[in-house]
Structure 1
Amino acid sequence: MAVIHRALFTWLLVMLFLVFVALRVDLKTQWSWFVVFVPIWIYDSILLLYILYQIAQHLKGGRVVSNIPIQRKLWYLLAWALKVSFQVLLCVYQDSSVKDRMRLFYVLTPLICLLSLGSLDVLYVLVRGRLRYHDPSDM
């Protein structure tokens, strides 16, 4: 699939999701929040299949699809799991009456972990790149 097709498909799902959220928030529909998130679930399912395919190709040792190390691919899988767990917890929190028993902190914990780990990953990549291309004569 060409890059333009992937971009258009992504934008279509995002726009559909935003329309569903607007309809739900304006109380035009009484849909479950799980139904509202269906475009995101579709995108996440395709993303999971792609990540698992990349990991399987790497472990099989056959044709090299990319030069991305296995640690990076496992990081993608962990980030996907944290994102989906946040979405599920958010839908459960919004749909049911657990708001009395469940604090919002527990719903946001996977998102906080994802953002923290993502920030550490960016810092690691920047520092590693800086050390790799550092020229001692610059000082």
Structure 2
Amino acid sequence: MMPLIHRVLMTWLFTMFFLVLVVLKLDNRAPWNWFLVFIPLWVFDLILLLILVVRLISNCRTGYDQAEVSLRKEVWYLVAMLLKVSFLLVLCFHLEGFTTAPLYLLFIPLWLLLLGAMIDLGHHVFCVLS
């Protein structure tokens, strides 16, 4: 796929562009919608989802699956990306004032993502490396 330096550069550029847009929005210099401010993150997530889906399809088509570990990992990555995108969507809805739900309800996708990441890391540290 992409070399590591390209992935790092892409991540850094999208993050920097997003932070510049957030600063402009918070400083009231840009009267944009919050959904427009989050466009760099939407584009970055879309690129990552496309790469993930292509890898998932190619692994399934070629039968390259080492005891279903890589397939489980790819599915976890897909679920994690969907949780992140759902959190960003709910956050944008809240920042735009479309919902008045309490904040602890808005953060449920992020908490599920973090819980899944902790479980994945714990499984890797205690089961795979042992």
Normalization by structure 2: what TM-score? 0.89
Root-mean-square deviation (Å): 1.7
Aligned equivalents of 2:3 and 2:120: distance in 1? 28
Corresponding residue number in structure 2 for 1:24: 25
Alpha-carbon offset, residue 97 of structure 1: 4.3
Alpha-carbon offset, residue 30 of structure 1: 1.6
Aligned equivalents of 1:118 and 1:6: distance in 2? 21
Tell me the percent identity.
35
Q: Which protein has the larger Cα radius of gyration, Structure 1 or Structure 2? A: 1
Corresponding residue number in structure 2 for 1:76: 77
Corresponding residue number in structure 2 for 1:134: none
Written as runs of structure 1 = structure 2, the 5 A alignment for 1:93-104 is: 93-99=94-100, 102-104=101-103
Corresponding residue number in structure 2 for 1:137: none
Worse-superposed segment, 66-75 or 80-89: 66-75
Corresponding residue number in structure 2 for 1:116: 115
Aligned equivalents of 1:91 and 1:23: distance in 2? 16
> What amino acid is aligned across from residue 126 of structure 2 in structure 1?
V
Corresponding residue number in structure 2 for 1:126: 125
Q: For each residue in 1:16-64, what CA deviation from the matched residue of structure 2 results, as whole angstroms up to 9, or x when unmatched?
A: 00000001111111211110110011100000001100110011126x5
Q: What is the DSSP-based 3-state SS (H/G/I as helix, E as strand, rest coil) of the residue aligned with 1:31?
A: coil
Q: What is the DSSP-based 3-state SS (H/G/I as helix, E as strand, rest coil) of the residue aligned with 2:29?
A: coil
Normalization by structure 1: what TM-score? 0.84
Aligned equivalents of 2:6 and 2:56: distance in 1? 24
Q: For each residue in 1:62-89, what CA deviation from the matched residue of structure 2 results, as whole angstroms up to 9, or x when unmatched?
A: 6x5x966100000000000000000000
Q: Structure 1: which 4+ aligned runs deviate by more than 4 Å?
A: none
Q: How many residue pairs are counted as aligned between the two chains? A: 127
Q: Unaligned 5+ residue runs, structure 2?
A: none
Aligned equivalents of 1:130 and 1:13: distance in 2? 33
